[in-house]
Amino acid sequence: MVITPSKLDEINVLASEAGWAWPEALRDIFRPRGVNLLMAREASEFVNIIERRRIHTAIVDVDYEIGSLTTIKIIRMDYPLMPCILLSSTAGAAMLSKALRLDVFSVIDKPVDMRILREQLNRLFIKKYNSDIFAE
């Protein structure tokens, strides 16, 4: 059975804000699919939003935060099963190893290729929610 947005109720994705056209690029992927995009500036804001709304996945830009993987670590304390996608311009072996230990679903190099992001979101939603909302 494929889950559509109506069967998931509402679909919410929480992402890091950034100093570039990131929110607009995400909206181009999410809006046509009826997916709600919520933005957070820092780890505490991520947690506050997660506490108030059902979030289906978090997209965290580690270059935007202080302390590399701090946001993921904080999310994992109270929400260990929340799917997370990590964005990084320095995704070396050490970063990938830490991301693996934190059970990050995917690490995507920056600048972000929106096609790759959509493909990763599609894989995540099929695996976690049995939904192909991000399919082409």
Could you tell me which of 63, 105, 67, 62 has the C-alpha nearest to residue 85? 105
Q: What is the pLDDT of residue 62?
A: 86
Q: What is the pLDDT of residues 63-91, one digit of tens each?
A: 876 556 889 999 999 999 999 999 998 87
For residue 65, the model assigns a pLDDT of 64
| Residue-averaged pLDDT of the chain | 88
Could you tell me the fold of the domain covering 11-129? Answer: Rossmann fold (3.40.50)
SS3 content of the chain, % helix, strand, coil (to 5): 40, 20, 40
End-to-end CA distance of the chain: 18
pTM: 0.89
Pairing outcome for strands 57-61 and 35-40:
unpaired
Query: Mean pLDDT throughout 109-114?
Result: 91
pLDDT beyond 80 at 4? no
CA distance 51 to 85: 19
Query: How do the domains of the chain map onto residue ranges?
Result: 11-129
